[in-house]
């Protein structure tokens, strides 16, 4: 039993399947999705995971596979692709619509697991629902939890935990993404649920241009502003994109953000994925 706490940093015991779903398969789907689910029969908590700026949801497959192998279903929408700069309102609304879709009785997540995955006895437990995101997606996760954005879509399900992976609110304090999340006052972001803020030590460093996670609008400020219960986990030797899959394009891996030079992305994914698993087990009252 002494080894149990570290087991979250290793692949879990469950075999995992990954499927991509779009409107051609589910007409009422707001955005294309990557769904990562255990194959073993059971009812599993669900994580809605939001990608970073100009990232593909598929680039998080290895990270989310690690999490899913420990008994979670991850739903990762593709919110947009190749935009220079747009307000966050559309992403907030799309996230709410995807979240509401999870519970659709006819063509929701349960239908996808049964009819697309062909997993007869795998079900989503939507009473244990978390929202998570990386980079800009980490900011969007906060915005959704805080009820920011317009009110054209009402969130019908309740999130019980929030994970923000190296969140970024903009390029500087003066240039935040709209609607603004950070207020630069301590303990003011009360999202009504436990929050895990994860950061990287190399995120604030640059390789010629703007840093990917600038000081003042990155994980440290998000954590400072979170109301308790809050948790802060920093992988100091890793960069802003080091948790992405091994097969991301060269320019993404090497030319955008400062990264760890020792080709240990698997360690970064297991460290961050393991912390996510431990937090979700505790805060969704699984373990």
Per-residue pLDDT tens for 91-105? 999 999 999 999 998
142 close to 166: Cβ distance less than 8 angstroms: no
Q: Is 262 a catalytic residue?
A: no
Domain 7-284 belongs in CATH node 1.10.10.1200 = no
Catalytic residue among 51, 66, 69, 135: 135
Residue 166 annotated in active site = yes
pLDDT of residue 125: 97
Q: How do residues 156-172 score in pLDDT, each as one tens digit?
A: 999 999 999 999 999 99
Give me the chain's average pLDDT, please: 93
| Measured distance between the N- and C-terminal CA atoms of the chain, rounded to whole angstroms | 14
85 vs 265 pLDDT, higher one = 265
Catalytic residue among 88, 91, 166, 242: 166
Residues 6+ apart with CB under 8 A from 18: 34, 35, 36, 61, 65
Q: How far apart (Å, rounded) are the C-alpha atoms in residues 214 and 258?
A: 12
pTM of the model: 0.95
The yes-or-no verdict on residue 72 having pLDDT over 60 is: yes
Please tell me which residue in 51, 134, 219, 240 is annotated as part of the active site.
Answer: 240
* Overall average pLDDT of the 108-126 stretch: 95
Element containing residue 277 per DSSP (H, E): helix 265-283
124 contacts 72 by C-beta, under 8 angstroms: no
């Amino acid at each position: 039993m002494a080894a149990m706490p570290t087991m979250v940093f290793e692949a879990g015991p469950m075999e995992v399947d990954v499927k991509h779903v779009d409107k051609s398969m589910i007409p009422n789907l707001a955005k294309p999705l990557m769904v990562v689910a255990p194959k073993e029969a059971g009812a599993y908590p669900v994580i809605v995971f939001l990608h970073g700026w100009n990232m593909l949801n598929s680039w998080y497959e290895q990270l989310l596979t690690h999490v899913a192998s420990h008994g979670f279903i991850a739903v990762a929408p593709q919110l947009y692709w190749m935009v220079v700069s747009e307000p966050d309102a559309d992403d907030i609304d799309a996230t709410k619509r995807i979240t509401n879709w999870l519970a659709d009785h006819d063509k929701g997540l349960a239908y996808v697991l049964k009819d697309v995955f062909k997993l007869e006895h795998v079900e989503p437990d939507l009473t244990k629902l978390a929202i998570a995101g990386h980079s800009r997606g980490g900011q969007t996760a906060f915005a959704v939890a805080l009820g920011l954005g317009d009110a054209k879509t009402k969130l019908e399900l309740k999130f019980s935990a929030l994970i923000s992976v190296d969140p970024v609110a903009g390029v500087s304090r003066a240039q935040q993404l709209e609607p603004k999340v950070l207020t630069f006052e301590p303990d003011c972001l009360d999202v009504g649920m436990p929050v895990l803020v994860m950061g990287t030590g190399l995120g604030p460093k640059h390789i010629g241009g703007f840093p990917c996670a600038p000081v003042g609008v990155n994980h440290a400020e998000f954590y400072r502003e979170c109301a308790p219960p809050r948790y802060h986990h920093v992988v100091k030797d890793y960069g802003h994109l080091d948790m992405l899959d091994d097969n991301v394009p060269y320019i993404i891996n090497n030319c955008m953000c400062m990264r760890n030079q020792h080709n240990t992305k698997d360690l970064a994914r297991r460290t961050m994925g393991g912390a996510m698993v431990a937090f979700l087990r505790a805060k969704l009252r699984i373990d």
